[in-house]
């Protein structure tokens, strides 16, 4: 049985529209459709090879570094350089799409608030 493409692969392939704020050969970033903060951007590698950040770190640390760098650049642009970077790993931790992605959250977050 062939697994259907994730929503992120469908966004990369332009099958589903998204509010894209950054794109390179390796990474795409777009606004979350259900934001948990004033700034909530997803940074997604274009490859669907890795389900979570642990797999990505083991398989392609340079791509992980790119995601973190892009996250910082987006935070500089949209959140005054201050942000949270969240990778959910596993369903019980809130991961709903098993195509690794980072949540960039910013814009007036307070200590103790948690976005899922």
* Count of C-beta atoms within a 10 Å radius of residue 60: 18
- Which entry of 40, 99, 101, 103 is annotated as an active-site residue? 101
In angstroms, the Cα distances linking 46 to 7, 17, 81, 87, 109 are 12, 15, 24, 16, 28
- Dihedral angle sign, alpha carbons of residues 97, 21, 87, 44: positive
Composition of the chain by helix, strand, coil, percent to 5: 30, 20, 50
Can 101 be counted among the known catalytic residues?
Answer: yes
List active site positions. Answer: 101
């Amino acid at each position: 049985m062939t697994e259907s493409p994730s929503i992120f692969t469908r966004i990369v392939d332009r099958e589903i529209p998204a509010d894209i704020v950054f794109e390179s050969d390796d990474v795409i970033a777009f606004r979350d459709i259900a934001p948990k903060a004033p700034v909530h951007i997803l940074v997604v590698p274009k490859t669907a090879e890795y389900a979570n950040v642990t797999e990505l770190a083991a398989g392609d640390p340079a791509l992980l570094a790119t995601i973190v760098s892009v996250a910082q650049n987006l935070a500089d642009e949209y959140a005054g350089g201050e942000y949270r970077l969240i990778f959910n790993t596993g369903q019980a931790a809130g991961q709903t799409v098993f195509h690794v992605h980072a949540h960039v959250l910013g814009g007036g977050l307070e200590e103790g608030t948690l976005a899922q």
